[in-house]
Amino acid sequence: MTEHRITVAGVAVDTRHWIGGERIASAGTFTDVSPIDGSALGDIARGGPGEAAAAVAAAKAAFPDWAASSRAERARILHAIADGVEKRIEELAIVETTDNGALLRSHRRGVMPRVAHNFRFFADWLLTLDHEDFETRGHTNHVSWDPAGPCVLITPWNAPLMLATWKVAPALAAGNTVVLKPAEWSPLTASLLADIAAEAGLPAGVLNVVQGYGSEIGDALTSHPDVRRISFTGSVPTARRIAESAAANLTPLSLELGGKSPLLVFADADLDLAVDLAVEQYDNAGQVCLAATRFLVEESVAEEFTRRFVGRATALNQGDPRDEATDIGPNIHSRQLEKIDGFVQRALAAGARAVIGGHRGDGQYYAPTLLTDVRQDSEIVQEEVFGPVLTLQTFADEDEAIRLANDTRFGLAATVATGSRERAERITSQLVAGTVWVNCFFVRDLQAPFGGSRLSGVGREGGTWSFDFYCDLKNTVTAPNGWKNHG
């Protein structure tokens, strides 16, 4: 290791901020730790109000030229960034696995290719973004999407680079400049993204990356009067603080927050398919906001569903995420592990039964858990755990299934397993959720709206919805007459 640079699995990563096209150190640092074995990966620049102000100033200075650039030029550079990501997929995958503990095979085959796709999709969508002109009493209405200004993007630790670029790509495509603040538990691939963007020709100051704790740098970013958009993915309590911080400047917010999503299994469902969907909920050690953590199973098939699920779940291989044979890796941090175990132990003390799991493993691993005999109003059913912990309840009919499914403060997603198209249509029309999957899970198209209802979020992004958020929409109305003829 040299000053300001660490080596992670053979990959060099700069630990400083990226502000205005330069690497900037801070007086203080924080230690980044791998959840795989608890080893220290390195000391990361710990930003505060000074770094926040510098990053926003750089974004503000770079905004006029970037906003004035053509759609074709912005699209070209975004495609060049995607090219850079694709050239470094293996490096990005191993660094992120080491940093956040998610499966290496998933990063290689799905997550990092999706990072590149995020840039390509929004680059291409930008070139087709249009609204047909329309007339009002002979006057022509023309809708345009104008760049809004500097954007602050605050991203989570469970899929750091993929979720960061889900925000960065449309913000840049829209003609905005960006200050990206990655989660302090998984900051490394954001630093590599800064390198890739610079190599692709993105002008200095258009993308800035600052690291640190939310309480020290996050508040300074979200309260800054020159910030014109804030997008955040994370917890409800943090979102409330961000909203309060942004309120003084009326800065528009996009918030993608927690979930307590249901998986509804009806008696007419293909049970093997339903079990496949259920086992998928342990993906990323349960650290997925969209996970259907509440199984709601029709009484007549609950025993058979449970039997098959237990057989599949207990066969999962938990271990080192760098091993191709591993199905479940570690949880991100010792504090998160304490939180997960606290939820489970309180549920067990209140009368829940652990069909499988219900305890810690070694290190930062938590045993895949399924709890039954849980009350609808209990903490374990109502609050997001964000770990490999699922609950199972039964229902007698459709009305009870819908009531149980909707009876939380959240509304991010829902999954339905049924063999009846008519039932699927009845059920999905009544579910409170931003996304509903029927006989499938985690099928996502970037042109679809994404977001949550209730405490699961504010707003929608994806396709044109992303540009609606990251732009100032303008309607220009032109009279049919009044032009002077200059010949």
pLDDT(2) > 80 = no
130-161 pLDDT, tens per residue? 999 999 999 999 999 999 999 999 999 999 99
For 94-122, give one letter per residue: b (16+ CB within 10 A) or e: bbbbbbbbbbbbbbbeebbbbbbbbbbbb
Q: How far apart are CA 277 and CA 152, in angstroms?
A: 35
* pLDDT at residue 329, as a whole number: 97
pLDDT(484) > 90 = no
Domains of the chain: 5-257+456-475 (3.40.605.10), 262-438 (3.40.309.10)
pLDDT(277) > 70 = yes
SS3 content of the chain, % helix, strand, coil (to 5): 40, 25, 35
DSSP-assigned letters across all residues of 37-98: T--EEEEEE---HHHHHHHHHHHHHHHHHHHHS-HHHHHHHHHHHHHHHHHTHHHHHHHHHH
Residues of the chain above pLDDT 70, percent? 99
* 467-479: average pLDDT: 97
Q: How far apart are CA 390 and CA 294, in angstroms?
A: 6
Q: How many residues does the chain have?
A: 487
* Residue 3 binned pLDDT confidence (cut-offs 50, 70, 90): confident
pLDDT(187) > 50 = yes
pLDDT(381) > 60 = yes
* Residue 486 binned pLDDT confidence (cut-offs 50, 70, 90): low
Catalytic residue chosen out of the listed positions 51, 96, 184, 256 = 256
* 429-441: average pLDDT: 97
Provide φ and ψ at 279, rounded to 5°: -65, -30
- Which ranges of 101-184 does DSSP label H, i.e. alpha helix? 104-106, 112-128, 160-173
Residue 289 is among the residues annotated as catalytic for this protein: yes
* pLDDT at residue 482, as a whole number: 80
Contact 189, 100 (CB under 8 A): no
* pLDDT at residue 206, as a whole number: 98
Residue 27 CB coordination number (10 Å): 9
Q: How far apart are CA 162 and CA 475, in angstroms?
A: 33
Residue 307 CB coordination number (10 Å): 12
* 176-192: average pLDDT: 98
Mean pLDDT for all residues in the chain: 96
* 108-134: average pLDDT: 97
Q: How far apart are CA 263 and CA 393, in angstroms?
A: 10
Please choose, from the candidates 332, 257, 239, the residue with its C-alpha nearest in 3D space to the C-alpha of residue 287.
332
For tokens 């991203």, what's the residue?
Answer: 155
Q: How far apart are CA 163 and CA 287, in angstroms?
A: 13
* pLDDT at residue 1, as a whole number: 43
* pLDDT at residue 487, as a whole number: 46
Catalytic residue chosen out of the listed positions 289, 384, 461, 471 = 289
Residue 216 is among the residues annotated as catalytic for this protein: no
- DSSP label at residue 320: -
* pLDDT at residue 111, as a whole number: 96
Residue at 467: amino acid letter: F
* pLDDT at residue 180, as a whole number: 98
* pLDDT at residue 310, as a whole number: 98
Q: How far apart are CA 115 and CA 110, in angstroms?
A: 9
441-468 pLDDT, tens per residue? 999 999 999 999 999 999 999 999 999 9
pTM for the model = 0.96
282-307 pLDDT, tens per residue? 999 999 999 999 999 999 999 999 99
